Amino acid sequence: MKMKDVQELAHGIYSVYWKDGSASLASVGSLYDGTRWLAPTNWISVEMNTEAVKKIWRRNVERVAIILEHETWEAIGKLEEPI
């Protein structure tokens, strides 16, 4: 998956399908400047630099599929209490 493709993803929760046949659950959000970030729930390290993360995504992601888009989440209603 190219990073330019990541920049077109909507904010939300995704299934990530890896080229090795495994899958992860990930969230997509954005930084203050609008740049998208991806955060798999089963791996991430604050010690990895941006280039290292980009390299992992470029080389290893087969595809992503949206599970829940942010706008859908908003339409369902806001949580009354934080989880």
Boundaries of domain holding 53 = 3-76
What number is the average pLDDT over the span 8-34?
89
Give domain status of residue 7, yes or no.
Answer: yes
Measured distance CA(39)–CA(18) in Å, rounded = 14
For the chain, what is the domain count? 1
Give domain status of residue 81, yes or no.
Answer: no
pLDDT at 17 over 90: yes
Give domain status of residue 67, yes or no.
Answer: yes
Give domain status of residue 51, yes or no.
Answer: yes
Q: Which residues contact 42 (CB under 8 A, 6 or more apart)?
A: 24, 25
Which residue, among 19, 45, 39, 16, has the nearest Cα to 27 in the 3D structure? 39
Q: Is residue 17 exposed (0-12), middle (13-18) or buried (19+ Cβ within 10 Å)?
A: middle
With 0.85 as the threshold, say if the pTM is over it: no
Give domain status of residue 13, yes or no.
Answer: yes
pLDDT band of residue 25 (cuts 50, 70, 90) is: very high
pLDDT at 11 over 60: yes
30-75 pLDDT, tens digit per residue, is 888 888 888 888 765 666 667 777 777 778 888 999 888 876 555 5
Give domain status of residue 82, yes or no.
Answer: no
